[in-house]
Structure formats: C-alpha cells, structure tokens
Structure 1
C-alpha cells in the first residue's frame, strides 16, 4: 500500500470513528497498525520547510497518533486473549517506541499534546489498578508475549515521562499534561502522591523569565485539577493531603473544610441516633396508639355550635331549596364539566333502573337577582340561539319532505302510522306511564336507506373503460409506490433474509423500468406469442418520464440507493446489447442515463464521499465523456479535488478501457500552476505496483516530455521550470537511471533554465544519495556541456557528509579531464581527501 492509500485509510478511520466510536474495533488490525507506523515514520522524516505540504504531514502525524490511542485498548485486549498475535504486539511496541522517543520530543506543540494523551492511555493500560475496574484486561501470569512486571515498569517509565513534560516551555503542552495526570490520578491511586508533589512544586521549577500569563494560566489549571481530585470518592483516603497541597499553591481550603465539618456533624447525628435505641420503642408505641379508635369528646368551652347537631332533623324542604339554589348559582360550563366527569356506568344505572320516570315538572324558577340567560361569552347570545333554532326547523322541514317523497306518503299522520311499530315498549307495563306530547320521530339514515332499497331495485353504476392516458398515469403512480416502498419492504417468506429480499426488490425495479416500459418489442412470427416480450405500449417520451422518476428517486438519497442505480445501469446496458443485435439502427440509451445520473449526483456529493468511485468502478462501461465529467468536477469544486484524484487513480487501475484517458487527466494536473494541485497529483501517479509497469512507463515518458519542453526556445521563469521538472525529479528518486535525460535537456537549455535546475534539484540528489550506482556512473561519464551540472551534484552530495569511495574515485577520474573540458575543481579538492566541503571549510 503506497503513501496515498495509507492517507486515505487514515481518513476513513477519522470519518467512521469520530461519528461512531464503536467502529474503532474494526480498525484494530495488523494492516492498520502497519499503516500508522509507515505514516508516522514518513512524517518524522520530513523537515520543516514552511510549506503547506509539511503542515499536511503534521496533521497526518497528529491524526495517526490519535488513531493509535483509540485502537490501543482493543489491541491490548486482543493480545491478552491470544498469544499468537506476535506481529500485532510487535507493531504496537514499534508505535509505543515512536511515541515515547520521537513524538513526545517533537518541535510541534500539537504533536507533543497528542503524544502525552497517548502516553496517558498506555499508563492506564500497563499499570495495575487498586480499584474495581472491570474494563481492565490483565494478561495471564504465564503469557508468552506479555510480562506483567515488565509492563508495569514500562508504565512507570511512561508516567515519569509525562511528569517531565511539566517542565516544558509551551503553555498548551503543560496544561494538557496536567489534564492527563489528573485522569491518571483518579484511576490509578498509586500515582496520586507523585502527582500531588509535582503539582505543588511546579512553581519552584520555573525560571524568572517565564511569562506571567503562562504562569497564571497553569496555576489555574493546577487548582482545577486539585479540586477534581479532592472531589473524587475513589481516592478519598488522600483527601486531607490533597487539600493541604491545594492550599500550598494558593487554593481556597475553606471550601473543603466547610464540607468536611458538615460531614462530621452528619456522622455525629448518626451516632446519636444509634445510641438512643429506646426512642424507637416509644415511637412504635405512639404509632400503635394512633391506629386505635378513640372517641373525641367536645369540651364545654368549644365554640362549634354544630358539633352536637343532628343533621337528620333538618326539614326536607330546606334541603331541597338549598340544593336548587346551589344548582342555579353554579355556572353552566362548570356543571357541564362535572357531568362529563360522572362515570358512564353510574349514569346508565340511574336512568335505566326499575321504576325510573322522567320528570315533566317545569324547572324551578331562578332567583329574582339572577338574569334569565347566561351572559358568559363562551355561550351564544339569545338572539343567535333563536336564529339557529329557526334555521334548524327549516332544515328539519326539508328533511321531512325528502322522507315523505321516499316513503310515498302525503301527510304527517300517514307517516306517523307507518312508524307506530317503532314506538318504545314500556319496561314495566304495570307502572302507569306519564302522558307526553306527541313528537314526530325521524327515521335514522340506516332506516331510510333500508326503506329505499325495499322500494327501488339496486343497480351498479355502469362500468367505464379507462382511457390510455389514465392507464399510463396509473402506471406511473404504481411505479412511484413501488419505489417508495423501499423502506417498508420486508420479506414475507421465512427462507428469505432481509438482504435477499432487498436484492429481489432492486432487481424487480430495474427490470420493470428497462424491460417493462423501455424495451421495444421484437418482431415475432404471425400467431406466435412470446410472454417475455410483451410490453406496455408507451412512446419514447412516456418511457423517459418513467426513467426520470427512477432517476430522481436515486438522486434523492444516493448513499443508500446506489445499489439500485447500479442494477438499473446494468439492465440498461444489457438491454442496449440485446436491441443492437436485433436492430442495427437502434440508439443506445445507457450512456444517456448514466451521464444524467452523474450530472445530477456529482454536485450533491460530500467532499469525502466515495459513492462516485463505487459507481464508476462498478458501472458496466465508461467512456471519454464520463472521464470529462470527473475532470470538470475536480476543477469546479476544490473541496472534492482529492477524492476525484483518488477516483481517477482507481479508474486507471481497474478500468482498462478508459485507463489512458484517466491517466492523461492526472498527468496534466502534474504540471498545473497551483502547487497544491500539482503535488497531490504527483503523489497519485508516482507509485504503481510491479504488475503495472506499463503505467509506470507512460508516467516516466510524460515526465521526460514535460522536462524536454524546457529545452525549447521560450522565456521560462522559475515557476515554469519547477512545474515542468517536479514530476521528473520525484520519479528520479525512485529510478536514478532517468537522470541521463536531465543532462540532455540541461545542455540544450538556456542559462536561466540551467540555473533554476541547479537550484531546485537539491532534494532529488539528496534523496538518491551517494550510494546510487547509476548516479556514480553518470558522474564519471557525463556528456560534454554538463560540467556545471556535475559539479553541482557533487557539491550537494558532499556538502555535509564525507564522500564514499565511489565518489572519490569518480572525482579523480573527472580531475584527469579537467584541463580538456575546462572544469574548475578548486572547490571540490576536499572530496579527494575524503572530507565533506563544510568540514574542510571549518578547518
């Protein structure tokens, strides 16, 4: 896996784990740890040159350290349970070594902070806990890979390393260290005394030149850490010592003393309660006394005149008058609320009990001081009630007329005679029923419908055939319902899993849209029937409308419906293949809908979304227009540039039909004027597998062609030279034999171009190194005209390092030709004595 793919894997980790931390378990693998080791080593080899590329490497180092801290507990647990994970543990040890030797002493503060946090996790894992920590996974005493004593010693060393970070001169590093030590103290009480001493004596270790702002901020962080430790119940045995240390750095000890005194008072109260056991007996006797019935005898001096009054002696008329007065005084809305609260069963029993007769007595007249109507605004006024009553009577008259017409009666008396059989039968015939005025009884809706059916024969409405447009509209509606049944679709058979059910649904929709409405029927013989080739007769526009429905449905949520899109594309492609064999003039529609899908979905994709790559890699076929769409996307949206470059690289590897088109797009970006675009593209094309030598050959040829442009006539400035030569320089570090092309271009180029080449090839020559046989051979056999270039190469190689024997031998051969080619070797004389140029100048 090359560096670019490793960076992409780390980005995948960040994307999946930051939102869902439980996904970190899936990354606790050897391959991911190898990626972290390579990324950290690659980043640590880089030197701070102030460029954006170096800042990006710093970011990768931080993210890799954070990722190691996240997966470390899972890896440790795995190794504890499985002694065969030798490679996994060795990778873990390599990462630990990088953290406590290189990252913790890095010049960047952010890298140091991430290293301190990683050491905190390691200390908690490798040290024993005196607390009941069920999450701790200790190895067995006879574990083949993990020795408990050695792990504890390593954890103690790492803890001491964290303590040493309090001596840092960077405020953010110190505060981060304080926070990590506070967490360690809460979970590992054996370190509390060391942490307490380090916090209390921190001020004594500082110099007078420290910033007052930094001292104040760190003091505040230390006090907050002390407060948190003091309030932790797990280390309550150290509370008095922690409070004393808190006071030594200027903390307010009184806030804890008052709390301590409250706790003492509560403890004394509990003791007093336990000592007075006889009080409980008295309380129990009091409780028993309260449960017994004791009659209350009123005293002679009592002022309650109703205490001995017998309410049964009150006259009945007085009680009735009292009840009626209360009922008339209470507002109607209150009465309605109270009636609605009555139990339904009780009301039913009240009106259906034996002997119950509704009263016909007129209501009791209201008192003279109360109005005859309710003035509450919630109820309608008297005039409005009368108006509604008149309207209701008119509606009743109309309804009565309709009923008479349906029943073929002319008068009310005749209709009343017809409904006499419906009159209620008295429950108890022996009880005299009160005489009520005759009220016309209206039939219910069901009764009127029953009478109407008896009198008129029922006929169904005439069947009306749907028009072609209505049929097609119903078809569209049915397809739309099928599409949006995706989430609620579940398998109804016991042998079909949800995955199988979903795949069946995808295949159904894809075939329905392409074969059901899109495929034209093939010609069949007379009288023959082919059930598979029967289609719904729809023209091309209507067919496209159905496909537009599917297209909009897919674009609506491409993340979860890309499988449906791929099924549809495959069906479109197969349909085009079948139709083209039957009809030579057939117009294929696969690319039409594929490109429509890409045009609609590409603008909606997230910068880190890989759905576009999946679509392009799994689609049936790609063409030049497809690559152009990806190219337009990476040019128009800078945020998606990296993901588009990765997509193009995957196309080069996996899609041979468009391989060279995609590669050409990447190669053209390698000479882009924008530095960031150019460097990202070069990283994508510089490494290929051994099985991809034909791609390597094409990339090298392009780099040489770009370099040869500098030999043509033209006013090339420094930026032009850099962008045309950068890809070539990077490839030379991998295959130094390409350097001979540099000499041919250098000899033909102008003096300004030669100067820029000598200026910007420093990194390339240092990366190749003095041990390269190709470079040594080129120094001995350089063509005429390349003298200044050879001297520059030797100066770069031997500037700070002593020359190898091969370099000394090559310089000796050059010195023989110095007079013939007018080579000035005065500055290279230290090389002949085996010294570096800087070393000789210092002497």
Structure 2
C-alpha cells in the first residue's frame, strides 16, 4: 500500500491543477469536485490529518474558491452551476469555531461572489429551498462574525457598476415567489444599512472600521440612488475630529487624520459626480468646515513654536560666525581618454558609473529631459561645472594631438581622386536668366544626376528607376492601415480645443480653423464618404457575423466609437456629428438607387449599448443624444425602454421619451407607443407613464378607466 502524500506534495499537485484551469476554464467543475473533500472540516472520505496540514489545505482551497467565483473568464451560467456544489463546504468552514482567520476571509469573499448567483438561481427555481436555506445560514454566520471578529482584514474591491451581469435587484423577483419574499428582503437590507450607519452614531475610535464602512457606503451611494440621500445625511452629522478634544497619542493622531481624509474625499467625490444634487451646498459647507477644524487642531503646535528656522541657508542673526567661514569647493576629476578612436558620447562622458553609460536618454520624453536639465543647472556649483568643461577641453586637445586630420575612407566621394591638383576653374561669361531656365528644364531628375556623379567618367549615363515595392500580404495591409488610423487620432491630442468663434455654418470648410472640431470633421468624412458605394453588400447581408476583409472606413469607425466611449459625456457632440454624417451618407446612397451598406442604424445602437451601462440617474446626456441624432427607430427606442428594468432609471428613460414627444413631432407617436409599452410592462413605471399618456393621448384615460372597471367583474378563482 502506497504511503500517503505529504501536504507539500498535495499543494504542489493542486498548483498544477490551478495552472490547468487557468488555461482551460472547462476543467473547473472537475477540480472543484476534487478539492471539496480536502477542505471540508468534517473530513468525509479523507484520512485523518494533523491540524497544521488541515489548515494548509483549507487555506489553499478557500483561496482557490474565492479566485474561481471572482474570475471573469468563467461564464455566469457555469458559475451558477458550480456555486450550488460548494454551499455546504462553505457553511461547514464558517461553522467551525476554531477556524483559521485566512480561511474565514477567503470564505467570506467567496460567499459575497456567489450570493447573486444563488439569488438568480432561486428566482428561476423556487423549488430549491435547500440551497436558499444554506445561503441564508452562511449569511447569518457572516453577520455573527461581523459582531465578534476583530477588524483588520481588507476585502477585494467590488465592482458595482451598473450593467454588470452579476447585478441583482428586488425588481427581478417575480410575485408570489415561494422562497424570496421582497418585503422581507427589503426589511433585512434596511436593517443592515441601519447597522452600518450606526457606526457613525456611536463613539467608535477604530479608524479601520470607519474607513472600511465609508468605502462601502460610497458604492451604495452610486449603485442605489434611492438610499443615497439618507446615507449622506448621516455622514454629514458625523464628526471624525470629535476625539481630537482629548489628549492625542501618535496613534490616535494618525487615526483621526485617516477618518477625516476618507470622509472628506467621499463627500468631494459625490459633489464631483453630481454637482446638481440637492445636498451639494451642505456638503461643500461641511468640507470647508472640516478643513478649517483640521488646520486649527493639527497646526496649533506649529503656531505656538513660531516659524521654523531656515534649513537651506544660514540665519544671518544667529549664525554670523559660521557664515564667515569659506565653503571649500570639492575637486572634480575628469579621467583622460585611453589611446584610440572614441565616439562623441565617450568624449563628453565624465561619469565612471557603467549603469549611467548604458542608459538610453532618448527613451525619455523631451519635456522631462528639459525639466531635469534645468533642475541640475540650478543646483550645480559653478566651480564644478568649470572643472568639468576644462576636463572635456583637455580630452579634445589630446585627441587632436594624437590623431592627425585625415579623411575617412568610408566617406570618400566616389570617382574623385585624393590629389586633385589639376583643377582649373572655368571663367566663362555669366549666363543670362533665359539660358539658366532652359538648362534647368532639360536637366535630368536629381536621382539620375546622383547616379551620373558616381559613375566613372568613361561610362555613359543611364536612366535609373527604383525597383517596385514588395507585395504586401493582407495582414501587413491591415496592420499598416490600423497604424495610420492610430496616428490620425493621435493628432487630436496635440490640437487645441475649439474656442469661442463664429462658425461658417454647414458650408464651412472642414479644416478652416485647425482645431479639434475641424479634425473630427475630416475624420468623420473619411469614414463615411471615402468608399461610399464601393463596399461589398452580399457578404454583409447574408453573413453579418462573418469576418470581412480590412476596411479603412470601418477601422476609422471603430476608432471613433472607442474615442467617444472614453469620455462620452464630454464627447457626445462628436458622436452626434459623426452620426449625422452617417445618416446623410446613407440617404445619399439610397437616393442614388445604388445597393450599398447602410451604417447609421448599426452605429447608433452600438453607441447606445456602450453608453447606457454607465448612465447615472441624473444624466442628461441620453436626452441630448436622442434629441440631436437625425433619425430614431423602434430599435433605438427599445434600448431606452430596457432602462426601466432598473427602478432607479425609470425617471431618466421616461423623461428622455417625454422630451422627444415635446420637441420632435415626427417621432411623437412612436415615442408615445414606447411610453405605453413601458406602462404595460414595468410596474415601477406605471405612475409616471400614466401621467404622460393621460396628457398626450386623450383616449388613454378612458381606456384606463374602462380597464379598472372591468377588473372586479372577473370571479375569483377563474383565470381569464
């Protein structure tokens, strides 16, 4: 019978398994099934181990599970299947009262990652009460640890950006769910929020706990605007400098400064993200008051001692004797050069350090080199500089003495003798202007002249043509084209922002002012008009997902799309200008009767898909985008309707549609249809949508009244 493997051997094999799943995520199911018996505290099916071995394996396994469910390489569907298999093992590890802190930390991280997955599973599979009971037990145990465990562990950064496929909401829970009761979950969430906010209403001096809570609340304020004002009001009543009234130790001083800085940065970022929020004035007053209080508390000792004594120079009143002593100038030695040829770099190199000689200064940006040079010259001793210049001068003099002047054979002019003593200048009469022009017209090209100069005198001149360029492959053409587009977009970083000037209207030239707007106009017209009517339509229509050959226009369009998404709030005008060009080009092609590829609708939808996940509840960029693009379709309005899946975004979606109803009469009817569809689909949007429909569709109020009267007519227990 083989001897059991040691812990080091087992961990080595587990590391091999980790490398396998990192290369191919399909093996996660098998690896997790294999490690669960190793990390289960109950030890089912495994031989008895000592405590140290058991802890080492559990640490590795818990850390592996945390990495697995936080990895973006695994699809959400696969994570949803895997999470159900680890619930019991996580619960067992948390229930162990003597569990290692590192294991508990990894288990809590894993539970935070799988909770949305289990929540989604229970929504669609209400029969699985056992899995819901397990995740509830894990959550209860974590809250107990929250009450009793000492702070000091830091969890991973959460990504609560809207549009995350792992995002969950009570709005996703269907009515009459057997396991998930929205009012109970909402009450539980409200209680947990009160529990977190209670930290600011108690006399808690633990800066780690306060800072961690503030960082968590920042995510809640951004992801859950409906509770944002409540959280901000509690923070505004919190005074992190309250403990400064008592005698401070060095430790308490650092803690107070940390809590004050974290609180101040949180509130400043809230105002930067939403300057128009109703609490912006109070936040600004709080931040200014906190900064004044901080300066008064921590700068008091400096004011009592008076201004500090000078450190860079000598005080004339107190250091008179020292000031009279001459400061010796250090001797700077420049070593002479060794015999033999030397480069210019070696001539001016006065440092003996080999590391500096191997450093390539050309990799530094020009402005950094200038700043370094100015700083060095300001602080450099003039005597040392003169000694270095004198040393380089002696080097140059010695090189001239050792090496007489001679021509480099590699740079000799071809066909010319060294000793040209037979040169006889020609003193013919000067030619007039007409003769000179006639000679220039009949002169051969510069390339031919150069070829003639290098030929021997006895060889007749011949015409010279450059060889044809090598044939480029499709990959090389695509790479060169993408590089060209990248350089075109790089020019915009060097151009000035458009100033306040008078535009020439639609008839303006594309590059009349040499600013960023004019360059954008050139780029958009290159994308839309350069190959208009020359694109192949069969492949696009029959196989939309097929790989198409390189297209300069599509490359520019993709670069424009990425450039706009980098900062879409400031570059929404660029997006509108580009889409106007696309719409105009599509209309021209359709009017000409030519069968061509249409791009406007595709890029409008793609831009909306890129912008919508990052919208805030008070963003006006969506309303501006919908009101300024030249064409609106049902597909575009369907994207706006999907915003109502998030209850916090209902107001933004309906406000944007109402603006279309008011300001764009041609699309008023389809916008009202979208509002009515929202009213029929989303319960949270019914009050606002009904208000708009009642005003703009007179018959809607009567239909709504008739529908309300018909509801009691259906007998209870009979489905219609």
- Give yes or no for TM over 0.5: no
More helix by share: 1
TM superposition score category, shorter chain reference: 0.3 to 0.5
Q: Looking at both structures, which has the greater relative contact order when contacts are Cα pairs under 8 Å and sequence separation is at least 6?
A: 2
Query: Given the two structures, how large is their TM-score scaled by the length of structure 1?
Result: 0.30
Query: Given the two structures, how large is their TM-score scaled by the length of structure 2?
Result: 0.34
Give 1 or 2 for the bigger CA radius of gyration. 1
